Homo-oligomer: A and B are copies of this chain.
Amino acid sequence: MAAPPNDTRDRIAQAAGELFRRQGYSATGLQQIAAASQARIGSIYHFFPNKDALAEAVIRAGGAAYGAMVLALLEHGPDDPVEALGAAFARAADDLAATGYADACPIATIALEVASTNEPLRRATAEVFTAWTDGLAAWCARFVADPEGARDLATAILTSLEGAFMLSRALRDPGPLLAAGRSVTRLATAMRTDPAGTPP
């Protein structure tokens, strides 16, 4: 999407991100990352001092990219924000099913693994979640006047998405993601300040 140079460092980071999100941080070995990125272990250590540093780079870069992608999806979707929300959840369900229920949130698995065991990585995931919430809250503020209400709705969108990703992956069924979409659009409708475009 953005970065053109397919150099070794990028290949390593991308392969690591894909493996971390699918099977978790602990279960992914450096040998596997090297094989997936067609690099040598020595090259990984040339670009990253250790596995934790690689993970932190992957969390921050992948988090920024995913947040930008979601916001772009909302902004370039239907004009009505509630419809855009519903379309985004439907799109997430399609994409998840298309990858065999493998690729959902890029940092969710790592976030749970490190929350109580690795403070630097926990902090990295926290900063990504906070940035996502900020971005969503700014988008929600377009149709929810109360700033606290906009932030609550943003949190509801993000937590519903994360939880629905978890259930849909475990069940191998888009149902939870679609149900979460229905609930979030209903909630957004109830919270929207400006009811323009809503027929009686």
- A residues with CB within 8 A of B: 22-27, 100-102, 108-109, 111-113, 115-117, 122, 125-126, 129-130, 151-153, 155-156, 158-164, 166-167, 169-172, 175-176, 179-180, 182-183, 186-187, 190-191
Contact = CB atoms under 8 A, between A and B. Distances in A.
Contacts of A22: 116-117
Q: Which of A25, A26, A179 has the most CB of B within 10 A?
A: A179
Given A155-B183, A156-B160, A169 B113 contact: no
A69 B129 CA distance: 29
B171 A159 contact: no
Nearest to A124: B170
Given A155-B176, A159-B162, 7 more contacts: A22-B116, A23-B117, A101-B115, A108-B166, A111-B166, A112-B169, A129-B171
A108 B115 contact: no
A145 B24 CA distance: 41
Contacts of A130: 171
5 contacts: A101-B115, A115-B169, A126-B171, A155-B164, A155-B179
Given A162-B163, A167-B129, A113 B179 contact: no
A104 to B, nearest CB: 8
A183 B186 CA distance: 11
A179 to B, nearest CB: 4
A167 B156 CA distance: 11
Contact of A26 (B26, B125, B159, B186): B26
Contacts of A152: 179, 182-183
